[in-house]
Amino acid sequence: MTNTEETSAPASPDVESPLAHLSAETLDRLAEEFDAIHDEVYASLGDKDRKYIKSVIAAQRQLVVAGRVILFASSSKPAWVAGTACLGMAKILENMEIGHNVMHGQWDWMNDPDIHSSVWDWDTASTAEAWKHSHNYIHHTYTNIRGLDKDLGYEIMRIDPKQRWHPVYLAQPFYNALLTVLFEWGVALHDLDLESLWAGEKSPTQVLEELKGIAGKAKAQFVKDYVGWPLVSAAVFGLAQVAMRGKLPQPKTSRVAGLLRRSGRWGAGADLADRWLPGVEKTFLSTLLADVTANIIRNVWAHAIIFCGHFPDQTYTFSKREVENETRGGWYVRQLVGSANIEGSPLFHIISGNLGYQVEHHLFPDMPSTRYSEVAPKIKDICERYDLPYNTGRFGQQWWMVHRTIARLAFPGGKERPKPGPYRSSADPTGEVAPSEAARFRSRMPSDHPAAGPEHEGGGVAVDPPPR
Ligand SMILES: [Zn+2]
């Protein structure tokens, strides 16, 4: 299925993107300003940043250990809830603040052989290799260009009125709900890019190779989450039960005993199973359920953050014609108005992989995520001076807009929603930026910015903006 064809109706002039009003000179100046912000951060990267990512990785591993140990007692409800919460949070951190960002090459400057985009792999269904191509290169280079950015509706949804309607979209609210729960599998299949196969750009052998990669990841997840850890939990409970001489609380009957009795031959074995196995069986099943739940928690969260960063009403999409001969400045502006931020607390930003700063992430995909909050006021300042919008909103607002669009555009027609005007700091409801901040930044702005920082050739940063 394709959602890349456009309707013949031209976009109404009131939704023409801000790009259309910027002269080549202005775009060049913008490129210089954005480059300067990037370079200033890269020149200042150091121990504080290194400590941050190492401590997040350590915290994530501690959460996994805590979750696994608590789940040894998963047959008790409070332990199940606590263990599942630890595990769900660990998976969220692992995917969002660690996996996505490390694989973008945000930490490659450390030259740490363990925390590097070329070697990192993550606990999700997509292989690192396929994901780095479809996300780092395709999505981040061709952001919101209809027909080129395959993340625009993930090729299964109509999220822009300019996409031609097809009856299959009637079902999109339902398969979006399904995608929420199974997000990692949806992304893995999406990374396969079957459309390239139909178009003859990809060979069946290559697709088969990539399918094998996904099958390998699926096997790893099943063996670890759905067999291995439930068995470990069950074994620990069994040993504890023996040590306590059968005094640990457990259900009265064993499922295995039931099977043995029905077979009619193992009466004595069934009595033994009834005495020792009910708790073991319950622990196995409840750990299995905890692992399924933790994976779903991570999927629902990742889906929400990613959709809210790309599909709220404020974002613009672009035709291929609009971005012909795009300059570096044009690329930056497209990233700026093609994504949307989500406002939240520092903890919210950590567990969303700092993708609440989706705008800053799209401007600087290789910048360590922890610096996005620091550069956000500078981006707002640029927006204010160049009359550009700065797309942001509360989580609930962005979420509502995304789902309203998915529901409305399931049906034919649909109009562009109004877009925000140029950013004005005095109107900033968060009060995050006092005008003095902008003034302070302007006075610090280097007239000629230094060469690139210690960024080195890495395997992960494949985003390809026009050169300086
Ligand atoms: Zn990204």
Distance 101 CA to ligand 1 centre (A): 7
Distance 116 CA to ligand 1 centre (A): 15
Distance 452 CA to ligand 1 centre (A): 21
Distance 325 CA to ligand 1 centre (A): 24
Distance 103 CA to ligand 1 centre (A): 9
Cα–Cα distance measured from residue 39 to residue 454, given in angstroms and rounded to the nearest whole number: 10
Give strand pairing partners of 6: 163
Distance 38 CA to ligand 1 centre (A): 16
Distance 366 CA to ligand 1 centre (A): 9
User: Can you give the pLDDT at residue 323?
Assistant: 86
Residues 338-355 as b or e (16 or more Cβ within 10 Å = b): bbbbbbeeeeebbbbbbb
Residues 117 and 458 sit within 8 Å (Cβ to Cβ): yes
Residues 41 and 371 sit within 8 Å (Cβ to Cβ): yes
User: Can you give the pLDDT at residue 444?
Assistant: 45
Give strand pairing partners of 145: 318
User: Can you give the pLDDT at residue 9?
Assistant: 45
Return the axis-axis angle of helices 435-444 and 372-385, rounded to nearest 10°: 90
Query: Phi-psi region for residue 387, left (φ > 0), alpha (ψ -120 to 50) or beta?
Result: left
Q: Both ends of the chain: CA-CA distance in Å?
A: 37
User: Can you give the pLDDT at residue 13?
Assistant: 42
Name the token pair of 184.
């990692």
Distance 267 CA to ligand 1 centre (A): 59
User: Can you give the pLDDT at residue 457?
Assistant: 38
Distance 306 CA to ligand 1 centre (A): 9
Cα torsion 165, 168, 172, 176 to 10°: value is -130
Instruction: Report the residue count for the chain.
Output: 468
Cα–Cα distances (Å) from 251 to 118, 255, 280, 286, 295, in that order, read 49, 10, 10, 13, 27
User: Can you give the pLDDT at residue 427?
Assistant: 56
User: Can you give the pLDDT at residue 90?
Assistant: 96
Name the token pair of 353.
């992989």
Distance 463 CA to ligand 1 centre (A): 10
In tens digits, the chain (468 residues) has pLDDT values of 444 445 444 444 445 778 888 899 999 999 999 999 999 999 999 999 999 999 999 999 999 999 999 999 999 999 999 999 999 999 999 999 999 999 999 999 999 999 999 899 988 888 888 888 888 888 999 988 888 877 777 678 898 888 889 999 999 999 899 999 998 888 888 877 777 778 777 788 888 888 898 899 889 989 999 999 999 999 999 899 888 888 888 888 888 878 888 877 777 778 787 878 888 999 999 999 999 999 999 999 999 999 999 999 888 888 888 888 899 999 999 999 999 999 999 999 999 999 999 999 999 999 999 999 999 999 999 999 998 999 999 999 999 999 999 999 999 988 888 888 788 876 555 555 444 444 444 444 443 433 333 333 334 445 677 787
